[in-house]
Structure formats: C-alpha cells, structure tokens
Amino acid sequence: MFRVLITDPLSKLGIEQLLDATDVKVVQKTDLSKEELLTEIADADALIVRSQTQVTAELIQHAKKLKVIGRAGVGVDNIDIPAATAQGIIVVNAPDGNTISTAEHTFAMLISLARNIPQGYRSIVRGEWNRKAYVGVELNNKTLGILGLGRIGTELAKRARAFHMNVMAFDPYLTEDRAKKIGVQKASLDHVIAASDFITVHTPLTKETRHLIDAKAFSQMKNGVRILNCARGGIIDENALFDAIQSGKVAGAALDVFETEPPGEHPLFTLPQVIATPHLGASTREAQENVAIDVSQEILHILRDEPFKNA
Ligand code: NAD
Ligand code: MLT
C-alpha cells in the first residue's frame, strides 16, 4: 500500500481517485505542528500540499520513503526543490487548473480597486451615506500593465480588452506574434512601469522577481497608479508600497498575497487605499476540484511507475 499524506485542505471530490484506489491509503492531516509533520512524513510515499505547508530541506530529510511531492496549485515556492531533487524525489504541480479562477479574482480586484467597492461597503454598513468619498475611475481607455504574461496574465488581458482597456505586457518570453494574437502591446519592463494606470504582477516568485516592484520602480510610475498582486507575496516590496501610498504616488493597491502569510495586523491594512483578500485567487469549487484531480492523477502514475505529464 502507498501512503499518501495530505497536509493542506483539498477538495474531497478532487481526491476521489486516490480515496478509491485499492493500493493507496490516504492520510489527511492539516494544521500539523512542525514536529507532527516530521513524524508523519517519515513513512509517506507521497505528499500533497497547497501553499500553507512549507516543504523545507529538514522535512524532506525526514522522509524515508517519499517518491513524489504534489503541489495542488501553480507556485512551488513553498517547496525546496533542490533538496527534493538531491533526494531523488519528484515534484509535480497542477499548472492550469486554477488559471481561470485566479484571472477572474484579479479582475474582481481590479474593478473593486477602481470603484472603491470594499471601502464603500465598509462605510455603508457603518451607517454612513458618503457618496463623495468613494468616487472612482473608469477602466475604459486606461492602460493595464501586466508583468508576466503566462497563463493567468493572458486570461486577465483578454478580460481587460473586453472592458476596452489598453493592455501592455512585459514578459521575457513574450513574442510579438503572441502579443498581437492576445491583443496586447509588448513592452519593456521600464515602459510598462512608466506608462500604466494599473500594474498587475503575474510572475512566479524567484530570485529575479523578488521585489521586482521596489522603491525605484514606484518612483518611475505615473502619479495615481494603482497596483495589484494576486501572484505571490514578495514580488512587490511591501515597505516600498506602504511609502508610495503614503506619499500619494500610488492611489490604491489590491493584494491577495503577502510576503508572510497569514499577514496578521499588517501596516498596509491601516491605509484606506488598500484592499485585500486572504489568498483567495484559486479558491473556487471548480479550481480546487481541477487542481486536486490533476495532482492526484500525477501522483498515482508516479507511485505506480507509469508515465506522467509534468515535473
Ligand atoms: P505561468 O508560468 O503560466 O506564467 C508566469 C509568467 O511569468 C511566464 O510567462 C514567465 O515567462 C513570466 N516571467 C517569469 N519571470 C519573469 C520576469 N522576471 N518578468 C516578467 N515575467 C516573468 O504561471 P501562472 O499560472 O500564470 O501563475 C502566475 C503566478 O500566479 C505564480 O506566481 C503563481 O504561483 C500565482 N498564482 C497565485 C494564485 C492565487 O491564489 N493568488 C493562484 C494561482 C497562481
Ligand atoms: C497557486 O500557486 O496555485 C496558488 O497559490 C493557489 C493556491 O494554492 O491556493
């Protein structure tokens, strides 16, 4: 029997094939302490996580039988891949199951940011009727700058085009041809930063993208720019964002992800221009089923020594 350990909440429907498999025992334990995790991993053949569990080198060293780590989602920045590779453990993710949900969430944040919807809601439930305080801006004819035109960035671009936004994008792998097909203008990082009314990041978090938007980048932006991060905490320097909002350079920010999660009582939350959600980009029934199904299939193939898709 293969022991599959699941340490973050996963869609039950999505893991049905693991639960039904006669050669698999599923052990689902969330919110484990570090010590509990080290004990549980010892005899696991497979581990499935979302973004909460930190799969560190120490955890990997405690895994005596582990063959595969499955990430039910896109970002693998919570997994120490070099440590896994050194131990011969395969790491797989679910690269496209939550693309639409995350693009839709980003678009919801874009409209909410432009029209002060969370601020207006908070004010009306406090018993106020303050129509002057929450005057917003239209998306129509505004420039949306997308940093990272991969799966999510592309779906977001299509939605922004439907709202008659001008979309420009920076991505080192973007070709003129592809940009044309999607209806976006391919531009340099500096140009996107300087020319956009809204800037949204959709890159992975890597050494190159950590603090891609820092104090210098903010200083080069238009006055009144609005910023979104529904990708990964750390791509935007949160201290620099705080200063840029306080100085009036940035008119507002919409954040789904944070440098430390959960962020607790973050200084950014003291600013009325900041709206936020608790890493909800992929939190739809559909996305959670998709990623759990994809990762479960991959894990079964790998445990059974069958061909698999991504690693
Ligand atoms: P993807 O791999 O399809 O796209 C990422 C793109 O970023 C690629 O096109 C790549 O070329 C580009 N890129 C890499 N380095 C870059 C750089 N320095 N500058 C500009 N572009 C760069 O990934 P995706 O599925 O679109 O996901 C994007 C991000 O969203 C990831 O960080 C992922 O973890 C995150 N995400 C968050 C949520 C959420 O719940 N908020 C859900 C899904 C994905
Ligand atoms: C991802 O990278 O897929 C996101 O963080 C979504 C998630 O796992 O919740």
pLDDT band at 55; cut points 50, 70, 90: very high
Contact 240, 268 (CB under 8 A): no
- Hey, whose CA ends up nearest to atom 44 of ligand 1? 74
Contact 38, 46 (CB under 8 A): no
- Predicted confidence (pLDDT) per residue in 79-120, tens digit: 999 999 999 999 999 999 999 999 999 999 999 999 999 999
Tally of residues, the chain: 311
- The 3-state secondary structure of 148-191 reads CCCHHHHHHHHHHHHCCCEEEEECCCCCHHHHHHHCCEECCHHH
Judge whether residue 213 has pLDDT over 70.
yes
Judge whether residue 311 has pLDDT over 60.
no
What is 215-259 written as a DSSP string?
Answer: HHHHHTSPTTEEEEE-S-TTSB-HHHHHHHHHTTSEEEEEES--S
**For residue 153, is it left (φ>0), alpha (ψ between -120 and 50) or beta?**
alpha
Judge whether residue 266 has pLDDT over 90.
yes
Judge whether residue 20 has pLDDT over 60.
yes
Rg (CA), the chain: 21
State the greatest distance between any 2 C-alpha atoms of the chain, in Å, as a whole number: 65
The residue type of 120 is: G
- Across the beta sheet with 185-186, the strand order is 185-186, 166-170, 143-147, 198-201, 225-229, 250-255, 274-276
Average pLDDT of the residues in 236-248: 99
Residue-level pLDDT at 308: 87
Q: How far is ligand 1, taken at its centre, from the CA of residue 18, in Å?
A: 28
Residue-level pLDDT at 294: 97
User: Which ligand has the minimum distance to the alpha carbon of residue 153?
Assistant: 1
- The pTM score is 0.97
Q: How far is ligand 2, taken at its centre, from the CA of residue 113, in Å?
A: 22
Tokens of 144: 């949306």
Residue-level pLDDT at 185: 98
Q: Which atom of ligand 1 is nearest to the CA of 204?
A: 32
Residue-level pLDDT at 70: 98
Contact 57, 80 (CB under 8 A): yes
Q: Which atom of ligand 1 is nearest to the CA of 283?
A: 40
Rounded-to-5 percentages of helix, strand, coil across the chain = 35, 20, 45
Tokens of 68: 């595969």
Q: Which atom of ligand 2 is nearest to the CA of 72?
A: 8
Average pLDDT of the residues in 65-76: 97
- Residues carrying an active site annotation: 232, 261, 279
Average pLDDT of the residues in 46-66: 97
Q: Which residue has the tokens 């104090």?
A: 215
Residue-level pLDDT at 309: 81
Judge whether residue 11 has pLDDT over 80.
yes
Tokens of 187: 């531009």
Residue-level pLDDT at 122: 98
DSSP, res 55: B
User: Which ligand has the minimum distance to the alpha carbon of residue 288?
Assistant: 2
